[in-house]
Amino acid sequence: MSAHSPYLLFVFFLIAVAIGWYLGNGRLKRKDRRNQALPPAYLSGLDHLIDNRTEEAIESFIHALEVNSDNLPAHIALAKLLRRKGDIDRAVQIHERMLKRNDLSVYDRQRVKLALARDFFALGLLDRAEDAAAPLAKQTDYPELRYRAIVLLIRLYEQEGEWHQALQSADILPKKNRKELVNELSHYRCELAQNHIANGELDAALKELELALATDAKCVRANLISARVFMLKSQWRSAIRALQSVAEQDPLFIPETLNSLRRCYDSLGDELGLTLYLKDLMKQSPSTSVMLALAELKRDKEGVFAAGLFITEALKSRPSVKGFNRLIDMHIEHGSSSARESLLNLRSLTQQLEMSKPVYRCGHCGYSARSLVWQCPSCKRWGSIRPIQGLEGE
């Protein structure tokens, strides 16, 4: 069995108990109670489950149940487990067989249709998933099912890169439900802005980014992209304001702003303004990248030796591999030729160490990478990947 089999086995036992309760409870309602026993298929399913033969157990439990409104939750639970195990075709078969029943209530039939839409989505049959979910998103009799259908459509359009349709689907949600999706919706706006930038439509991009920030004021990505657009338009002050807003939204992303800030202040000829801002950051939100940015300014103004001393002092209170590597670089540049070969060998080793470590990590699933992406490739969460802190990070 797989690594998560203990969890699945536990869930199977719960389902088995539920099925047993249903079968027993149903039989108690019959007139002849004394000689009634649980069906052989159910007992066989328990034997398979005890022997860790989950496939056979599922088959036995399915045969033990007749589909009707009373035991519908057990069927849906079994199909959901099949989908989680990757046996989606079997889940589809169960749901399609359930839909052939004529005695299901309207509510139960819609529940099964929604589950079938999830099956199609998991199989990558996005057109069929949309066809199954779209009618449910329009009905108003069962708000819970309607909400889940709309969210499924949003995920579907997200996967297809249909950002406008995803946003339009979100617009029909009640206001309280839209609040639960502000993080995703702001990133959809950012995706549209990226498309506008690629087409040279900078003003249209800025409008989308304004909407992204209106949707989620904490959207770091929107300000980073806005700064890039302002820089393309040579609007340096506006770019600086956008970049400095990132520090207020999430200080962990300050390192992502530093190169652009340097360019903006250089374009304005305002080195003093940059120096003062970086010193303020070191007080409020210290990081290795901010320290190194200050060291570069000191190097330009006072020379490599002064910059090296500055880094040395800073590393005493905030050690990091990145800071140590930059210090070695400066010693190679400033040191004697006799020491240079040893320093180069040391730098080669520390560089390998630095390059082998991830720079970003997802706060939800732990996925790590060396480049920043806004949607985690593993858990698909938006905005969950952030810079790593500590000795091997900032």
Domain final residue pick, 105, 124, 143: 143
3-state secondary structure 48-99: HHHCCCHHHHHHHHHHHCCCCCCCHHHHHHHHHHHHHHCCHHHHHHHHHHHH
At which of 143, 169, 192 does a domain end? 143
Q: From CA 224, how far away is CA 241, in angstroms rounded?
A: 10
Question: Does 164 reside within a domain?
Answer: no
In a domain, 174, yes or no: no
User: What does the block give as tokens for 324?
Assistant: 């140590």
Distance CA 245, CA 253 (A): 11
The answer as to whether 390 is a domain residue is yes
Determine contact, residues 181/173, Cβ cutoff 8 Å.
yes
In a domain, 38, yes or no: yes
Looking at the domain assignment, is residue 99 inside a domain? yes
For residue 111, the number of C-alpha atoms closer than 13 Å in the C-beta half-sphere is: 17
Which candidate, 229, 179, 239, 187, places its Cα nearest to that of 212? 187
Q: How far apart are CA 258 and CA 280, in angstroms?
A: 13
Residue 131 placed within a domain: yes
- On whether residue 235 sits in a domain, the answer given is no
Residue found under tokens 């770019």: 239
Convert the pLDDT of each residue in 136-161 to its tens digit. 999 878 999 999 999 999 999 999 99
To the question of pTM greater than 0.85 for the whole model, the response is: no
CATH number at residue 374: 2.20.28
Measured in Å, how far apart are the chain's first and last C-alpha atoms? 41
Instruction: Give residue 390's domain range.
Output: 357-394
* The last residue of a domain, from among 112, 143, 174: 143
Q: Please give the full DSSP string across 268-287, using - where no structure is assigned.
A: HT-HHHHHHHHHHHHHHS--
Parallel, antiparallel, or unpaired: how do β-strands 368-369 and 360-362 relate? antiparallel
How much is the pLDDT for 158?
97
User: How many separate domains does the chain show?
Assistant: 2
CATH number at residue 119: 1.25.40
Find the helix or strand (DSSP H, E) in which 386 lies.
Answer: strand 385-387
Contact 212, 186 (CB under 8 A): yes
Hey, what are 259's tokens?
A: 């190169």
Tokens read off for 162: 């249909």
Strand order in the sheet with 360-362: 368-369, 360-362, 385-387
Domain assignment of residue 62, yes or no: yes
Kindly give the confidence (pLDDT) of every residue in the chain, 394 residues in length, as a single tens digit, with 9 standing for 90 and above. 444 455 444 444 444 445 454 444 544 444 444 444 444 444 344 344 444 455 655 555 555 555 444 567 777 777 777 777 787 888 888 888 888 888 888 998 999 999 999 999 999 999 999 999 999 999 878 999 999 999 999 999 999 999 999 999 999 998 888 889 999 999 999 999 999 999 999 999 999 999 999 999 999 999 999 999 999 999 999 999 999 999 999 999 999 999 999 999 999 999 999 999 999 999 999 999 999 999 999 999 999 889 999 999 999 888 888 888 888 888 887 766 666 777 777 777 777 777 778 889 999 999 999 999 999 999 999 999 999 886 555 6
Residues 281-337 have pLDDT tens digits of 999 999 999 999 999 999 999 998 899 999 999 998 888 888 888 888 888 877 666
